[in-house]
Structure 1
Amino acid sequence: MRITQGCFSFLPDLTDEQISAQVEYCLSKGWAIGIEYTDDPHPRNTYWEMWGNPMFDLKDAKGVMLELADCRKAHGDSYIRFNAFDSTRGFETVTMSFIVNRPKVEPRIRMVRQEVDGRSQRYSFETVR
Structure 2
Amino acid sequence: MSDIQSYKQTPKYETFSYLPEMNADQVRRQIAYCIAQGWNPAVEHSEKENAFGHYWYMWKLPLFGEQSVDAVLAEIEACHREYPNQMVRFVAYDNYAQSQGMAFVVYRGR
Q: Distance in 2 between matches of 1:101 and 1:3?
A: 14
Q: Distance in 1 between matches of 2:51 and 2:62?
A: 23
| Runs of 4 or more consecutive aligned structure 1 residues displaced over 6 Å after TM superposition | none
Structure label with greater radius of gyration: 1
Q: Distance in 1 between matches of 2:88 and 2:24?
A: 13
Q: Return 5+ residue gaps in structure 1 as ranges.
A: 105-129
Match of 1:100 in 2: 106
Give the RMSD, CA atoms, in angstroms.
Answer: 1.4
Of residues 50-59 and 9-18 in structure 1, the stretch that sits farther from structure 2 once superposed is: 9-18
CA contact (8 A) 2:45 2:86 kept: yes
Q: Distance in 2 between matches of 1:3 and 1:82?
A: 18
SS of structure 1 residue aligned to 2:29: helix
Q: Distance in 2 between matches of 1:62 and 1:42?
A: 26
Match of 2:37 in 1: 29
SS of structure 2 residue aligned to 1:8: helix
Match of 2:75 in 1: 67
Match of 2:58 in 1: 50
Q: How does 1:1-20 map to 2 (within 5 A)?
A: 2-20=10-28
State the AA in 2 paired with 1:100: V
From the two aligned structures, give the one with the greater helix fraction: 2
Whose relative contact order is higher, 1 or 2, with alpha carbons under 8 Å and at least 6 apart? 2
Q: Please give the TM-score of this superposition, normalised by the length of structure 2.
A: 0.84
Q: Please give the TM-score of this superposition, normalised by the length of structure 1.
A: 0.72
Identity of aligned residues (%): 28
CA contact (8 A) 1:6 1:99 kept: yes
